Structure 1
Amino acid sequence: MTEFIPPGTRFHALPSPFPMHRGGELHGARVAYETWGRLDAKRGNAILIVTGLSPDAHAASHADNPEPGWWERMLGPGKPIDTDRWFVVCVNSLGSCKGSTGPASVDPATGQLYRLDFPALSIEDVADAAAEVVRGLGIEQLACLIGNSMGGMTALSLLLRHPGLARTHINVSGSAQALPFSIAIRSLQREAIRLDPAWNNGHYSEDSYPESGMRMARKLGVITYRSALEWHGRFGRVRLDTDLRDDDPFGMEFEVESYLEGHARRFVRRFDPNCYLYLSRSMDWFDLAEHVSDDAHLCVLRGLAHIRIDKALAIGATTDILFPLQQQEQIAEGLRLGGNDAEFLGLDSPQGHDAFLVDMERFGPAIGDFLDSI
């Protein structure tokens, strides 16, 4: 399978061997990243962005790649994350297929793709790999660590496992542990992929590819990324102009169905199915409480209280069903329990989990004001 690496991507070689949290190790592994702005003389103006499941390191356009990035309206000169002031690094998660080593990469021991021979991937591994990039750039302490969605999990793990590596933190629509609803959705997504005959226990090819499974997984995801309020306001019950065919009586009839189909088809050949499975499962496994006790009933707040940070902001959208607002409120509460200066901000956005990507009128000022205060 093909890796999908944006132009201008840089690479950091991880230590070899690189030990994995749940056992096993990687040899010759790397992490893809991109940068914006200039590092000051004291190396004290660095911001690290860790991402959700599917984004690459191309958060915004730059000289080496003028294509708009996935957070284009947030990041750049004069924008909320102002690259005239900050040196910004965005990493592609370990385990992804966007330049970092993952199941779609070649195993140097065999010369073949890792596929399901890739070691079990945890959020902790993603965090450790991101920390290696920071240190590899000669940065002793980040001015701020920003994590979105899955990246919010990664950021909390990094703060706990690498104390002192960041001075402040913004957790955007993230969480300190996976909730049952989110686990259930991701379980169905993985099942859709694995039940596609073309998945073939991870041994698919460009010619025999689990397209149906990936389409269904993506559709399930997209449904949870936005709110019911937005789905109604955007599509209502508007029907397609085309009539149902006699040979397909249960085919697409509503505009919302056509939207989901188009969105899914644009995604399926741009993300490796095995990488999707590994990253999805890493989110389900994540529970910050496990780092401070073997007691399964330990409150996650105590895990958060072990983090030490000068200042933090946990923000989210009121309509987010995938990472609901109470999870960002819990992050702020747990950090305060540990004596940290932590603020919670719930934004009344109708756009659900994806609000941080599209609702710049609300999320932009919140992030910009926090960075202006540090």
Structure 2
Amino acid sequence: MTEFIPANARFVDLPSPFPMKRGGALHGARMAYDTWGTLNAARDNAVLVLTGLSPDAHAAANEANPEPGWWEAMVGPGKPIDSERWFVVCVNALGSCKGSTGPASIDPATGRPYRLDFPELSIEDGADAAAVVVRALGIERLACVIGNSMGGMAALALLQRHPGIARSLVDISGAARALPFSIAIRSLQREAIRLDPKWNGGDYDDDAYPESGMRMARKLGVITYRSALEWDGRFGRVRLEDEREDDDPFGFEFQVESYLEGHARRFVRRFDPNSYLYLSRSMDWFDLGEGHDGDVHAGLAAIRVERALAIGVQTDILFPLQQQEEIAEGLRAGGANAAFLPLPSPQGHDAFLVDIERFGPAVSGFLNAMRAPGR
């Protein structure tokens, strides 16, 4: 299986060996990143963006790569994360197939893809790898770390494991630990992939790719990324016109089915199934209460950060509002000026990608309230 690396991606080499939290180490590993804006002389205007499971490091267009990015409306000159003021860095998650080392990468010990020989991956490993990128860019302390979804988990792990690395935090639809519902959904996604005969114990290639399993996994994910309110508003019970084949009596009949199928087919050949498995499981394992007798509140209170904003969406069923409220309360107990902002977006967990009218002002307002960076 090939990797999917954005044009003109840049890389930082990880220390070799790079130890992993749950055992094992990586050798010759790297992290992919992209940047916008300029790091000032005081090196105090850097903002780090940590992503969800599937995005690459190319959050928005820039001089090196003019193609629109996955957060195009949020990052850039004059946008909510304003690259005229901030030096914005986005990293591709460790374990991904989009530039950073993951199961689809070549294992230097064998000359073949790691596949399931890749060490067990944790959110904390991704946080440690992101810290290496920050230091390699000459940044001692970030002005802010912004994490979305899985990236919200990674942002908390970064602050916990690297005290003082950031002055502030914006945690968007993130969590301090995985909840049973989210674990159950991700477990079903992984099962769909593993039950596809073409997965073949993780040993597949482009010619024998577990497409059916990945389609099912992606559909399950998309269903939970949006809300029932949005599904009803977008599709209702509208039926397709004459698309069901006579020899397939249980084929697609409703527009929502066709939408899910199209979305899944656009995704499956653009993401490595083993990377999906590893990243998905890393979220299930994440629990900031580890080392605090299972007390997540204590784990959050142990983090030292000046200011924080935890943003959630009322219709999010995957990372529900109580998880962002928990983050704000825990950080506040540790002395942070931490706020919780519930947004009434109808678009569920993925709202931060599409509901810029709500998320843009929330993020820009938080960043604009920070003291002016030096020159």
Q: Give the residue type in structure 1 aligned to 2:126.
A: V
Match of 1:143 in 2: 143
Equivalent residue of 1:5, what SS?
coil
Match of 2:341 in 1: 345
1:299, distance to aligned residue in structure 2 (A): 2.3
Match of 2:362 in 1: 366
1:172 counterpart = 2:172: yes
Query: 2:332, 2:39 → 1: CA distance?
Result: 31
Whether the 8 Å CA contact 2:243–2:252 is kept in 1: the answer is no
1:237 counterpart = 2:237: yes
Superposed, which structure 2 residues align to 1:304-323 within 5 Å?
Answer: 304-323=300-319
1:244, distance to aligned residue in structure 2 (A): 2.6
Deviations 1:76-109 (A, max 9, x none): 1011000000000000000000000000000000
1:64, distance to aligned residue in structure 2 (A): 1.3
1:243, distance to aligned residue in structure 2 (A): 4.6
1:245, distance to aligned residue in structure 2 (A): 2.0
Query: 1:45, 1:244 → 2: CA distance?
Result: 55
1:242, distance to aligned residue in structure 2 (A): 1.6
Match of 1:154 in 2: 154
Match of 2:116 in 1: 116
Equivalent residue of 1:238, what SS?
coil
Query: 1:211, 1:76 → 2: CA distance?
Result: 35
- For structure 2, the 5+ residue unaligned runs are 371-375
Whether the 8 Å CA contact 2:302–2:334 is kept in 1: the answer is yes
Q: Give the residue type in structure 1 aligned to 2:326.
A: Q
Query: 2:84, 2:12 → 1: CA distance?
Result: 24
Match of 1:250 in 2: 250
1:340, distance to aligned residue in structure 2 (A): 1.1
TM-score, normalised with respect to structure 2? 0.98
Superposed, which structure 2 residues align to 1:20-99 within 5 Å?
Answer: 20-99=20-99
Identity rate of aligned residues, in percent?
76
Match of 1:268 in 2: 268
Query: 2:354, 2:321 → 1: CA distance?
Result: 17
Count of paired positions: 370
Query: 1:359, 1:243 → 2: CA distance?
Result: 32
Equivalent residue of 2:214, what SS?
helix
Deviations 1:49-88 (A, max 9, x none): 0000000001000111111100000011011000000000
Query: 2:226, 2:296 → 1: CA distance?
Result: 27
Larger displacement relative to structure 2 (235-244 or 102-111): 235-244
1:339, distance to aligned residue in structure 2 (A): 1.3
1:300 counterpart = 2:290: no
Q: Give the residue type in structure 1 aligned to 2:43.
A: R
Match of 2:373 in 1: none
Whether the 8 Å CA contact 2:159–2:304 is kept in 1: the answer is yes
Query: 2:347, 2:303 → 1: CA distance?
Result: 30
Equivalent residue of 2:310, what SS?
strand
CA RMSD, 1 decimal: 0.6
Equivalent residue of 1:3, what SS?
coil
Equivalent residue of 1:289, what SS?
coil
Match of 1:331 in 2: 327
Query: 1:125, 1:250 → 2: CA distance?
Result: 44
Equivalent residue of 1:345, what SS?
strand
Q: Give the residue type in structure 2 aligned to 1:324.
A: P
Q: Give the residue type in structure 1 aligned to 2:363.
A: I
Equivalent residue of 1:171, what SS?
strand
Query: 1:218, 1:175 → 2: CA distance?
Result: 21
Equivalent residue of 1:88, what SS?
strand
1:246, distance to aligned residue in structure 2 (A): 2.1
